[in-house]
Structure 1
Amino acid sequence: MKSCAIFIALLTLFCQGVSFISGRSTGNHNRSNKYGQTDGNDTRGYISIDCGNTEGDSTYYQSDAAFIDTGVNKEISPDLLPYMPPSYCRTVRRFPDGERNCYTLKPLNGRDNSYLIRAHFMYGNYDGQNRAPVFNVYVGVSFWGKVMPVSPFMEFVLEIIHKPSTDFIYICLVDIGQGTPFISALLLRPLNNSTYVSDLGSLRTIMRLSTDRVASVSQTAQIPSYSEDKYGRIWPPLPPIASSPSEGWEVFSTSTDLSHLKNDAYEVPLSILKGGIRPSGSNHSFTFNLPGIGQGIHPSFIFSIYWHFAETQKLDANESRELNIFASNNFDSGPITLKYMEAVTVVAPAINIGPDSVLWFTINQTNDSSLPPILNAFEIYAVTKLSHAATNQHDVNAIMDVKTQYYKLLNGWHGDPCLPAAPWNGVNCSDSNSDSPRITSLNLASRGLTGEILPALSSLTSLSYLNLSHNELTGTVPEFLAKLPSLIIIDLRENKLSGSVPTELMEKARSGSLSLSLDGNPDLCTMDVCMKKSKKLTEKHMVWVSLVAFVFLALVLLAVAVFCFYRWKRKAGSTTAPQSVLHGGDGMESKNRKFSYSEVMNMTNKLQTIIGKGGFGTVYHGCLKDGTEVAIKILKGSSIMNVQSFRTEAELLMRVHHRSLVSLVGYCDERCTMALIYEYMANGNLQEHLSGERTRTLGWKERLQISIDAAEGLEYLHCGCKPAVIHRDLKTANILLDHRVRAKLADFGISRIFSTESATHISTDHVAGTPGYLAPE
């Protein structure tokens, strides 16, 4: 059995992604490829970045300005331009500052989808030193590869197939002290998720060869690309060292029109499938030996191989082409029959070889085949486990909020906060050898920060050192700083903070458990007298709030009495009782309905946001399918009547409509859960405004209007409804305010409904909910 031996030097060339540029080797690079993008392909989700180019190419490439804000743009040496390097290699972005610099890519398809990512590096003697740097490249926080350009004239390429677990992909260049990192181009292509599947990790490209032709000696390392490859894959030809007839195989090609060929999910370009190799002479097989893979080419010892076939020869009735593939680690594909004008890909997903073993494969003609085997192309990938733990997600979310607030002031904050290599400038992290690292120190001194101290810092629970000194921060010192369990040093000097320092924070400082620096904040009071003064002001404020609440409630009751007396006088002179909505209904009624338990869970996002609690139950914020905001009250078990009574009362009350009553949108009585769905009142309840819980102060005109609205609502319940409804629990907490600060009564829907003819039999000994005003009538 003859073999095709590809030597170590050649393997090094392809496996490390080096390509040589020459005057005749770049025809497919210059303009027409966009790394495989043409007008005929679906280019949605493509990312093609010409690094260091401030303007980009409006047709094919884009500038990298939107993907990174560090680095310096440079042009390669003019001495190389006569050699016609690819357009994307004529500029570079170099990174003289910082140990790591990261590009941020946001693929259109988001997380958990497969992408081909390729990075191009051509030194081009841009700095005139004739000494190409060496540095590391990471995907996220995990090592991807080391860039080691052979010479200024050689293009170095790293390629990987990666499925990210987040919506962002960070490509980071890390300085290892052997020259300034740089990059020429960066490409991302979305893949078909049914292809290149690996459960063991990402796939780093080791080799991809088209067997339909052999490169000439002068083009040994050329790597042409193909505009028709929608995934931007590069298909180099067979090396010249493998072209000897003594190797036992020969190259073939066909002129057959392949436009009707049935391609598979891998969609290898038709130009690749037009030819390939087959055994020569009387041979029935051919072998590829790939020495060195696993020893110096890549540290991985698990490889995936993809063989691509297409039968382009029309076979006679008595002819067939059946083959079998054998490879390292006892891989056996079993018999594979090729069909005319159909492409097929055979995959060896995980071939495990030892560090001293040789990766090889043999393609045999089976005993049942009348024709020898063929091979159109093949790909070899190293399984790369990108398993390094990223920074704790809670810390990431918090520090990202800080970054968003101060984006223009925090250049270089890209990628993971802690990894790889050095963390962000001003950030220190815990040891990352095992668990996800935590942010332990944050130094944002002298960064020009403005506004209040961000609440997002409260989520950095492992923070031990916080320095926000020498900025323009305003507002008060937040109480959450005293709640951070690991915080032992806080430096807030030279800001514009005001008010008093939280008592708990001062007590920690006095006990020695916390180092607190506050000098240079002239409006900030740290003396005990401030604490006492603040306490006295709070007590005085509560007295005034109580007095105002009492006066306001008295006004409401007076207004109710006046309206009821007026209504009673008007009814005494009339022989026709007022028409109640309960006997008719209007257009609103069509929107009221019964909701299922699952609908209640969906509209509240599984009871996520509590907006109130009371004697009847807890109130949650929610949204209907059309986006209408609602308030959902889940009744307590002790508040619930029997199901039939609840249903009857809810359906009756859904027909009560008045501008001064909170509308009941619907109800739920499923799975032992009884809930009432009300319209949402944007300005909360009156009690919050009177007690100072809300910052907005009600004017006297607004207070008077609220009194009138409440009185009208109560008068309607008592006199305008048939049967009449007694509220039973009137208090400021049940007077809600809409976006116009108009008042509406709430919680009347949980009161008992009674007939006016039997009003004397109503029992008021037990009133549900919390104590409130009960009308004497």
Structure 2
Amino acid sequence: MKTNMQDGAPELVLVWKAWLFFAFAIANILGNSKLAAGKNQHAGRKLAADIPGFMSIDCGSDEDSIDKETGIPYKSDKELVNTGIVATVSPDWSGYITEQFKNLRSFPQGTRNCYALKPEQVKYNNYMIRAQFLYGNYDGKNQTPKFDLHLGPNWWATVSSSDPVYYEIIYTPLTDYIDVCLVNTNNGIPFISTLELRRLDNSIYRTEDGALAIISRYDVGKDIRSGSRRYPGDVYDRYWEPLLIEGCIPIATNSTVFSTQGNDNAYKLPAEVLRTAAGTPNGSIPLALVWSPPNSLSKCYFYFHFAEIEKLGAGQQREFTINLNGERNLRESVKLDYLNPLTVVQDDPPVSGSRLNFSINAAGMTKFPPILNAVEIFELQELPNKPTAIADVEAIMEIKELYNVIRNWQGDPCAPSDYSWEGLNCSNDNHPRIISLNLSSSKLAGEIATSFSNLKALQSLDLSYNDLTGPFPEVLTQLPYLNTLDLSGNKITGSVPEALVQKSKDGKFVLRVGDNPDLYQSAPTKRKKKNEIVVASSIAVLILLFIFSTLAGTLAIYRRKRRRETS
């Protein structure tokens, strides 16, 4: 993090860098930032195991583990992904990193490799997703790769750092799963160290236009030597980076900060964060923040967190306004109550520009200077690519599992179009539909599953030259848009439905069923049965004639014998 002075105000610059992790290590070495100790640490570990909505994945690890500092349990990814190669970072890094960063999983094969995550209560719930990376010269090449990180079908970030780095986004899934994908952009092999999901209260960090990618999260008034904060102090496991604002005075309290104001309590800021703040020397001096977004078109949201931590006189209250670029106030005024947190959101519309100037100004005749306890800065991450229709996703995933399809079928089947699954063609609908499926020569075995009939938009289906058995699947006749069906080279039995045969004769349907020895089209099958009846009838007549002639001959012999005996 950099702080540059302009008119006495710090400039908060975009931070996607590694110092956070070194701060953890330094704090541990110096003993100045113990997140949990003694009984509190053991209690934290027990609580972590019981917290709903926590999903922590140690990528590349062979076994599950518990983080020594936080007590958070981490699960190996060996049962969550069937691609990639496990690797270990260079020993040069071992003294500076936690256990979860010593292993990683790289993906030298395939353009897109994904983790399909299914924590409990996913759909329509607010989640913080954090992906962390440490190259650590694991391959001995000392060449940091550059690749893209996707959230479902949409770009999330470009990863390129030789130091530890993390990317965090807040997102409300519309599906029962969350796909986090690594995309090879031909600039080195993608890899990942850890992947973490944290379910948040649904009333906080909301946007209807996409997702919120974290830029900075500051614990204001805290010296950098005190280290960063996370779980168990923060029940949502957010990373809080210390920030001292030059020209401001740090203030602190040991009192307990509580909350009684509805949704403000949902943010659940750590007590350690709320107990510190920065304030100006007097009420005539504004608390100023000058900040440069990632680019001038970035759409940004600010979350200002306050708590009155100074005991004022009876009837006295701190009051101030928050002004953007000298043009508009975020709200009429902010009044603080003692030890009661309050969050002010710079909500719609988001702010943009090459430089953003926020000033917190004492309101009215108050003599108390403005303060700030914490601030979070997010960039609106638009999600232009809509996921494939959920019914199609469920159907194609069932097909993949039933037949153990050996293809790099990962992430969203249709989106983005550059990475759609091999053998699929999709529509351009708002939520794409699968309109063509080619699984020819894919070693499919067994009967044709009913899952194919759930691909309601399917126009073309090619299942030729596999080892499919059983009767012709009637369910395929229920696909309303199907106009091409190829079942050649299988072991399907019975007869083709007359309706499909007739559509094929009329030129309205392309039907290929050759090389199925025991499969017959309707008309030939009927003629065969008729001929069989004729042949069977002829044989029966011949048998009867033989029996009658035999009986007649026998009767004639008997009569001649009787005549000789009587004569």
Answer yes or no: is 1:180 the counterpart of 2:184. no
Of residues 79, 87, 96 in structure 2, which corresponds to 1:66? 79
Residue number in structure 2 paired with 1:155? 164
Residue number in structure 2 paired with 1:692? none
Take 1:306 and 1:260, find their aligned partners in 2: how far apart are those partners? 19
Whether the 8 Å contact between 2:306 and 2:343 is mirrored in structure 1 is: yes
Residue type at the aligned position of 1:60:
P
Residue number in structure 2 paired with 1:119? 131
Residue number in structure 2 paired with 1:415? 411
Whether the 8 Å contact between 2:217 and 2:375 is mirrored in structure 1 is: yes
Take 1:340 and 1:375, find their aligned partners in 2: how far apart are those partners? 14
Of residues 434, 439, 445 in structure 2, which corresponds to 1:450? 445
Q: 1:285 and 1:274, CA in 2 relative to 1: closer, same or farther beyond 3 A?
A: same
What are the Cα deviations for residues 287-332 of structure 1, in whole angstroms up to 9, with x where unaligned?
A: 000024433xxx532x221111122222222643222211246233
Within 5 A, what are the aligned runs for 1:257-276? Answer: 257-258=255-256, 264-276=265-277
Within 5 A, what are the aligned runs for 1:621-770? Answer: none
What are the Cα deviations for residues 84-108 of structure 1, in whole angstroms up to 9, with x where unaligned?
A: 2122111111122222122122232
Q: 1:536 and 1:96, CA in 2 relative to 1: closer, same or farther beyond 3 A?
A: farther
Q: 1:526 and 1:485, CA in 2 relative to 1: closer, same or farther beyond 3 A?
A: same
| Percentage identity across paired residues of the two chains | 35
| Structure of higher CA gyration radius | 1
Take 1:373 and 1:167, find their aligned partners in 2: how far apart are those partners? 44
Q: 1:431 and 1:425, CA in 2 relative to 1: closer, same or farther beyond 3 A?
A: closer
Whether the 8 Å contact between 1:212 and 1:274 is mirrored in structure 2 is: no
Residue number in structure 1 paired with 2:538? none
Residue number in structure 2 paired with 1:109? 121
Take 1:537 and 1:458, find their aligned partners in 2: how far apart are those partners? 35
Take 2:104 and 2:416, find their aligned partners in 1: how far apart are those partners? 22
Q: 1:3 and 1:532, CA in 2 relative to 1: closer, same or farther beyond 3 A?
A: farther
How many angstroms does 1:413 deviate by?
3.3
Q: 1:505 and 1:287, CA in 2 relative to 1: closer, same or farther beyond 3 A?
A: same
Q: 1:91 and 1:535, CA in 2 relative to 1: closer, same or farther beyond 3 A?
A: farther
How many angstroms does 1:442 deviate by?
1.7
Residue type at the aligned position of 1:205:
I
Of residues 153, 158, 164 in structure 1, which corresponds to 2:173? 164
Q: State the secondary structure of the residue aligned to 1:457.
A: helix
Q: 1:212 and 1:227, CA in 2 relative to 1: closer, same or farther beyond 3 A?
A: farther
What are the Cα deviations for residues 194-224 of structure 1, in whole angstroms up to 9, with x where unaligned?
A: 22232333221121111122336xx9xx855
Whether the 8 Å contact between 2:170 and 2:213 is mirrored in structure 1 is: yes
Whether the 8 Å contact between 1:253 and 1:275 is mirrored in structure 2 is: yes
Take 2:54 and 2:272, find their aligned partners in 1: how far apart are those partners? 22
Q: State the secondary structure of the residue aligned to 2:527.
A: helix
Whether the 8 Å contact between 1:26 and 1:85 is mirrored in structure 2 is: no
Of residues 516, 522, 525 in structure 1, which corresponds to 2:517? 522
Residue type at the aligned position of 1:6:
E
How many angstroms does 1:376 deviate by?
0.9
Take 2:397 and 2:222, find their aligned partners in 1: how far apart are those partners? 51
Take 1:394 and 1:430, find their aligned partners in 2: how far apart are those partners? 14
Take 1:534 and 1:385, find their aligned partners in 2: how far apart are those partners? 64
Q: 1:26 and 1:142, CA in 2 relative to 1: closer, same or farther beyond 3 A?
A: farther
Take 1:535 and 1:280, find their aligned partners in 2: how far apart are those partners? 105
Take 2:215 and 2:336, find their aligned partners in 1: how far apart are those partners? 27
Take 1:477 and 1:483, find their aligned partners in 2: how far apart are those partners? 13
Q: 1:189 and 1:509, CA in 2 relative to 1: closer, same or farther beyond 3 A?
A: same
Q: State the secondary structure of the residue aligned to 2:491.
A: coil
Report which structure shows greater RCO (CA 8 Å, sep ≥6).
2
Answer yes or no: is 1:428 the counterpart of 2:436. no
What are the Cα deviations for residues 427-475 of structure 1, in whole angstroms up to 9, with x where unaligned?
A: 322354x532221322223433222112222233443442323322111
Answer yes or no: is 1:361 the counterpart of 2:358. yes
Take 1:315 and 1:507, find their aligned partners in 2: how far apart are those partners? 89
How many angstroms does 1:67 deviate by?
2.7
RMSD: 3.3
How many angstroms does 1:12 deviate by?
3.4
Q: 1:440 and 1:512, CA in 2 relative to 1: closer, same or farther beyond 3 A?
A: same
Whether the 8 Å contact between 1:121 and 1:157 is mirrored in structure 2 is: yes
Answer yes or no: is 1:139 the counterpart of 2:151. yes
Answer yes or no: is 1:39 the counterpart of 2:46. yes
Residue number in structure 2 paired with 1:52? 60
Structure 2: any 5+ residue segments left out of the alignment?
1-5, 67-71, 534-567
Residue number in structure 1 paired with 2:378? 381
What are the Cα deviations for residues 487-543 of structure 1, in whole angstroms up to 9, with x where unaligned?
A: 4543333322222233344445556555544444333335853243458999xxxxx
Structure 1: any 5+ residue segments left out of the alignment?
539-777
Take 1:458 and 1:319, find their aligned partners in 2: how far apart are those partners? 71
What are the Cα deviations for residues 60-97 of structure 1, in whole angstroms up to 9, with x where unaligned?
A: 20112333222222111222213x21221111111222
Q: How many residues align?
A: 511
Residue number in structure 2 paired with 1:320? 317
The TM-score, its normalising length taken from structure 1, stands at 0.60
Take 2:394 and 2:73, find their aligned partners in 1: how far apart are those partners? 35
Answer yes or no: is 1:21 the counterpart of 2:30. no
Take 2:189 and 2:28, find their aligned partners in 1: how far apart are those partners? 27
Residue number in structure 2 paired with 1:230? 235
Of residues 461, 466, 470 in structure 2, which corresponds to 1:466? 461
Take 2:36 and 2:65, find their aligned partners in 1: how far apart are those partners? 10
Take 2:230 and 2:431, find their aligned partners in 1: how far apart are those partners? 40
Within 5 A, what are the aligned runs for 1:480-629? Answer: 480-481=475-476, 484=479, 486-509=481-504, 514-526=509-521, 528-533=523-528
The TM-score, its normalising length taken from structure 2, stands at 0.80
Whether the 8 Å contact between 1:3 and 1:289 is mirrored in structure 2 is: no
Take 2:74 and 2:35, find their aligned partners in 1: how far apart are those partners? 11
Q: State the secondary structure of the residue aligned to 1:225.
A: coil
Q: 1:415 and 1:17, CA in 2 relative to 1: closer, same or farther beyond 3 A?
A: farther
Q: 1:327 and 1:316, CA in 2 relative to 1: closer, same or farther beyond 3 A?
A: same
Residue type at the aligned position of 2:153:
V
Of residues 434, 441, 449 in structure 2, which corresponds to 1:439? 434
Residue number in structure 2 paired with 1:742? none
Whether the 8 Å contact between 1:100 and 1:422 is mirrored in structure 2 is: no
How many angstroms does 1:396 deviate by?
2.5
